[in-house]
Structure 1
Amino acid sequence: MLNQNEIIDDFILQTKIGLFCSYGNFYLDPKEPIVDAVISHAHGDHAVGGNSNVYCTKATSMFMQHRYKKFAAVDFHIKTYHEVFELNGIEISFYPAGHILGSALVLMQYKGIKYLYTGDYKLEEDSTCEAIEFVNADVLITETTFANPETEHPNAIEEIKKLNSVSANIMLGSYALGKSQRLIAMINQHCIEKRILLHHSIVPFGKIYEEMGISLGKYEVYDRKVMKNNQTNMIYIVPPMVFNSYFKAINVVRVFATGWKHLQNNNEIQLYISDHVDWKAILKTIEMVKPMQIWTTHGSGTQLKSYFESKLVVKLLN
């Protein structure tokens, strides 16, 4: 029977470069190029270019190669879900994280102890990525982006249906990778009168999704004439920088899809669609993983620490 003393307190350390496993001499989602990088998913705050060796899923490698071109990595070591591989003495395997296509929970085993790093993850249904698979672990290293008891994400389908109440054209701000593809699929399913136009920077990610066998439905590359000649039921999906630069755009209803309340300010419709776990989803994950300890990263874990006081060890890595 495992006891608390067998868990290695410094198995994962927070450094300025990122989460470091000194026992395996590798980083999880490093912020700077290093020799051995285990990357949970391809969002820019988790996957930088220039690493010597990148261990990740196929979809993650494809997104990184599109974004960073020849500077993506010296070598990609592509791993399938559930495949066990060894890196400098640590046994590692990936499980679907449900965040975006190719996103992975990273299970690390060392001296009989299982450490599970979540990266970013969500529990909600999403037809554009693999559904999360829970796996038991002794230590859960979880993101805490929305680890606040007051945060509860509304139903994403009910949120997307808000767009049906708008007949005018919509400029919809969305992250280019993951969120945009999820929105395209949801709009095609639940807002069937709408016609989707995509900013050119989003299109290649959609093509990779389709190459990986994910059907998004109908969309077109943005054409100014099309938008100008059709005054209703057009949705133009743009990345955040474009959305922010067109803050004076006329003849469109401005909407931004995010779980962050402060990013909903000044928008005519609030569209709360998040690809992260909220408070209840984190608690559900803990229930399913059954860890002896919880280590928190990517956000504040102070409220989790208070909630589990005297019940579970909660350690804040950042």
Structure 2
Amino acid sequence: MILEDFIVIDKIGLFCRYGNFYLDPKEPVKQAVISHAHGDHAIGGNLNVYCTEATSLFMKHRYRKFAGGEFHIYNFNAVFDVNGVKVTFIPAGHILGSAMVLMEYDGVKYLYTGDYKLQPDKTCEPISFVEADVLITETTFADPATQHPAAEEEILKLNSTKSNIMLGAYALGKCQRLISLMNDHCTEKRILVHHSMMPFVKIYEQMGVNMKKYEMYDRKVMKNNPEHMVYIVPPMVFKSYFKAINVVRVFATGWKHLQSSHEIQLYISDHADWNDIIFTIEKVKPSQVWTNHGNGNYLKTHYEKSLVVKLLS
């Protein structure tokens, strides 16, 4: 029997009361199961952290000695126990090391997706599907009007200009995916990377990902080469350089409201869109869907006659 209170939400986040642990807590806790290393899912200071190896490396770089007390590292598909709940990490395809969290208790399976994507990405493990009784899915882009274009087609937009490009992107996941895409599809471009992003790129390589050609940003290189340079910078730098001259400003994101002022609109998202979420539900075959991190009302309406949809947030 599905336990309606197996996962509850409080000010700290998603709490599994039967296993006495949090999923991606917003504040430090004693027991934290972390889906992936983005800052809105993985904070420092937890006493016990359960995660994949890549996630641990990213967290230890970002938070240093405050990353966590003890890290319990598990490979994908390995079953482990947290206070009586069987837990398994399933590849989520979001960034390197990202995991969906399969929890089994009293014969019922609950699958927490964290963030996930279905599009191909050479820089991380592809998503894998398992069946579960309850799917707890993120709904960042759960709107029938939202359909992400293929990243391999979007990246070709950068070839439409010879001018140097300042490319805004998140330092973890998006940066590495863009480097890979440009190496494959924008071969005339020379890729420069902001210094703050380089440690994450190096961890990708440490974990066996072939990042191919890129180099640390050098002001002289950018100044002396007026064409075909792409300088990847994190969001804060992108915003602070809003008066930068002699560059085409581009920001890689699935959010339309962040694209309007840019000469080239680069719709590359690392989240599931509407069709991806529907496909995931078909593959997981749950009897209930619990929504989180976004608007689940469209899903509730879509499945009102065929599937129980509960809005957790």
TM-score by length of structure 1 reads 0.98
Residue segments in structure 2 that go unaligned for 5+ positions in a row: none
Residue of structure 2 aligned with 1:41, choices 26, 30, 36: 36
**SS in structure 1 opposite 2:104?**
strand
Residue of structure 2 aligned with 1:103, choices 92, 95, 98: 98
Report the equivalent of 1:78: 73
1:276 Cα deviation from its structure 2 partner: 0.1
Residue segments in structure 1 that go unaligned for 5+ positions in a row: 1-5
1:239 Cα deviation from its structure 2 partner: 0.2
Report the equivalent of 1:18: 13
Residue of structure 2 aligned with 1:64, choices 59, 70, 75: 59
Report the equivalent of 2:228: 233
1:65 Cα deviation from its structure 2 partner: 0.2
Q: Equivalents in 1 of 2:74, 2:52: separation in Å?
A: 5
Amino acid at match of 2:242: F
Q: Equivalents in 2 of 1:15, 1:239: separation in Å?
A: 31
Residue of structure 1 aligned with 2:22, choices 20, 27, 39: 27
Amino acid at match of 2:19: G
**SS in structure 1 opposite 2:282?**
helix
Q: Equivalents in 2 of 1:248, 1:146: separation in Å?
A: 31
1:217 Cα deviation from its structure 2 partner: 1.0
The aligned runs of 1:1-318 (5 Å cut-off) are: 6-318=1-313
1:15 Cα deviation from its structure 2 partner: 1.2
1:209 Cα deviation from its structure 2 partner: 0.2
Q: Equivalents in 1 of 2:124, 2:66: separation in Å?
A: 26
Amino acid at match of 1:108: M
Amino acid at match of 2:68: A
1:216 Cα deviation from its structure 2 partner: 1.1
| Divergent runs of 4+, >3 A | none
Q: Equivalents in 2 of 1:101, 1:312: separation in Å?
A: 32
TM-score by length of structure 2 reads 1.00
1:278 Cα deviation from its structure 2 partner: 0.2
Q: Equivalents in 1 of 2:8, 2:296: separation in Å?
A: 16
1:53 Cα deviation from its structure 2 partner: 0.3
- What fraction of aligned residue pairs are identical, expressed as a percent? 70
Over residues 10-61 of structure 1, what are the superposed CA-to-partner deviations in whole Å (9 max), with x where a residue is unaligned?
1001111110001111000001000000000000000000000000000000
Over residues 198-232 of structure 1, what are the superposed CA-to-partner deviations in whole Å (9 max), with x where a residue is unaligned?
00000000000000000011111111110000000
Q: Equivalents in 2 of 1:125, 1:174: separation in Å?
A: 18
Q: Equivalents in 2 of 1:137, 1:270: separation in Å?
A: 38
1:264 Cα deviation from its structure 2 partner: 0.5
Q: Equivalents in 2 of 1:35, 1:9: separation in Å?
A: 23
1:310 Cα deviation from its structure 2 partner: 1.7
